[in-house]
């Protein structure tokens, strides 16, 4: 360890945060990185003050990578909070703690974290849109009336397993997965699996068998959309 790293590790978090902020406005990175030291204090010593300084320093980066600059302040905060919560989880795994990673790896990981958080947020939003759209299609006369009954979450494992147990062969399992879990149209399914389905009609035959069985099932009928 050099004298200079000694001097960095002797600084308090406030001083480190100030130097880290100053450094990030310089064109050239310097060899001794106060930002890196902040990461080290936060991760290796679980220093809450260091985490708070990192949050302030890298909030903009998380928002930029998560493409969340257009969100309202509350949503932005929730995205950044979740990003840092994920990040602190990830960097506690042995892959990170065996040898403390260089700055480039920490930043790349934080960016990946921000992106994954944004994607998960987007998926939730997309799901809500989808549920609302399907509910409107399922009840064209009373678009808003089924509000209370709308499924606001995806089917859980038990429901999916329940449905899967009602499938009778490989073709049905394939159509089930491709149609409803992955969202392909029968035309796309026929094109992807021409060996199994010679045309779109062949997909519809399987799909109709599944729909007939499930729509006659009292348990499924009770899952009102």
Partner 1 sequence: MTATCIDPSEIREGDLAAYADGEADERVRRHVRRCAHCAALVARYAHTDHTLRAGLYRAACPPAETLARWQLHILSPEEELRVAAHVRACPHCQRECMELEAAGDSAMSLLLDHLKDVTSWLVASRTAAPQPVRGGVPPQQRYRTAELDIFVGTIVVQTQRQLRGRIRPPIPGATVWLMPPDAPPRNCQTDITGYFIFPDVPPGKYSLGFAWQGRAVFLRDVDV
In this complex, which beta carbon is closest to partner 1, that of residue 26 or of residue 98?
Answer: 98
In this complex, which beta carbon is closest to partner 1, that of residue 21 or of residue 205?
Answer: 205
- Near partner 1 by CB under 8 A: residue from 137, 142, 168, 198: 137
Token pair in block for residue 111:
């960016």
Query: Residues touching partner 1: how many (CB under 8 A)?
Result: 58
- Near partner 1 by CB under 8 A: residue from 23, 52, 71, 131: 131
In this complex, which beta carbon is closest to partner 1, that of residue 14 or of residue 130?
Answer: 130
- Near partner 1 by CB under 8 A: residue from 21, 173, 193, 209: 209
Contact between 138 and partner 1 per CB under 8 A = yes
Contact between 141 and partner 1 per CB under 8 A = no
Contact between 200 and partner 1 per CB under 8 A = yes
DSSP 17-31: HHHHHHHTTSSSPPS
Furthest C-alpha separation in the chain: 77
* Footprint on residues 66-125 left by partner 1 (CB under 8 A): 86, 90, 93, 95-96, 107-109, 111-117, 119-120, 123
List residues near partner 1 by CB under 8 A. Answer: 65, 86, 90, 93, 95-96, 107-109, 111-117, 119-120, 123, 127, 130-131, 134-135, 137-138, 151, 154-155, 159-160, 163, 177, 179-183, 185-186, 200-209, 211-212, 214-215, 220, 223-225
């Amino acid at each position: 360890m050099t004298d200079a790293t000694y001097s960095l590790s002797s600084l308090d978090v406030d001083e480190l945060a100030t130097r880290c902020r100053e450094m990030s406005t310089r064109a050239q990175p310097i060899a001794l990185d106060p930002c890196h030291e902040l990461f080290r204090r936060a991760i290796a010593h679980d220093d809450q003050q260091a985490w708070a300084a990192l949050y302030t320093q890298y909030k903009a980066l998380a928002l930029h990578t998560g493409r969340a600059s257009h969100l309202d302040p509350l949503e932005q905060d929730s995205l950044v909070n979740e990003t840092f919560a994920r990040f602190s989880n990830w960097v506690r795994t042995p892959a990170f703690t065996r040898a403390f990673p260089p700055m480039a790896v920490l930043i790349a990981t934080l960016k990946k974290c921000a992106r994954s958080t944004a994607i998960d947020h987007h998926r939730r939003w997309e799901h809500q849109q989808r549920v609302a759209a399907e509910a409107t299609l399922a009840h064209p006369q009373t678009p808003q009336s089924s509000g209370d009954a709308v499924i606001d979450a995806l089917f859980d494992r038990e429901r999916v397993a329940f449905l899967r147990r009602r499938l009778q062969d490989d073709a049905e399992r394939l159509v089930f997965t491709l149609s409803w879990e992955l969202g392909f149209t029968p035309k796309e399914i026929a094109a992807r699996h021409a060996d199994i389905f010679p045309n779109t009609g062949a997909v519809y035959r399987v799909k109709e068998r599944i729909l007939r069985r499930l729509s006659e099932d009292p348990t499924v009928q009770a899952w009102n959309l």
